Amino acid sequence: MSKTLIVFGTRFGATHRSSEVIAKVLKEKFNHEVELVKLSSKTENIELSNFENVIVGTSIAYFSWTKRVKKFLKNDFSGKKLFVFISSAALTYAALEKGEMEKYEKHKKRFLDNVVKKNANVQPTSTAVFGGWIRKGKTEEFSLFNWKEKDMIKWANEIGKLTS
């Protein structure tokens, strides 16, 4: 049984929901033991030696990662399979949806690849870009919603095959 840690930071909830979908697929289809942790000021030290696989997810808002996730990425992941994803409803995923591949690659490089390269001590086994949602003020209405569960399920299946 593979032990997998999923840590995430979220602003509007899409990254949390994406992490839950990934965890469910890994547990049910690939028999992973999964620990899901929302990084917050109350998060205690996480003992990485307990896990073979680490999945790191963050929302992208205001052109940046959540602070705690970016800091977490500085841990030593030597000997681990590292997977990283971002939820980027407004720029990166929106460009992908529109088929604007040059724009997508530019945003992916800026918001995912360069941040991982600068902060992680190992090359991730796989990375992914997901959509998300943005709410209109404090209401339940969305000003943007492009979160697609099938994207997380597909990536979780890839992770399961690479870690089983």
Residue 85 and residue 132: Cα distance in Å, rounded? 12
The amino acid present at 123, given as its one-letter code, is: Q
pLDDT of residue 79: 94
The reported pLDDT for the residue numbered 23 is: 98
Domain ranges of the chain: 3-163
pLDDT of residue 63: 87
Q: What is the pLDDT of residue 66?
A: 92
Q: What is the pLDDT along the chain (164 residues), one digit of tens a residue?
A: 899 999 999 998 999 999 999 999 999 999 999 999 999 866 678 899 999 999 999 999 888 999 999 999 999 999 999 999 999 988 899 999 999 999 999 999 999 999 999 999 999 999 999 999 887 777 777 778 899 999 999 999 999 999 98
Domain 3-163 has CATH 3.30.470.20: no
pTM of the entire structure?
A: 0.94
pLDDT value of position 144: 84
Tell me the C-alpha distance between 8 and 24, whole Å.
15
Distance CA 54, CA 158 (A): 14
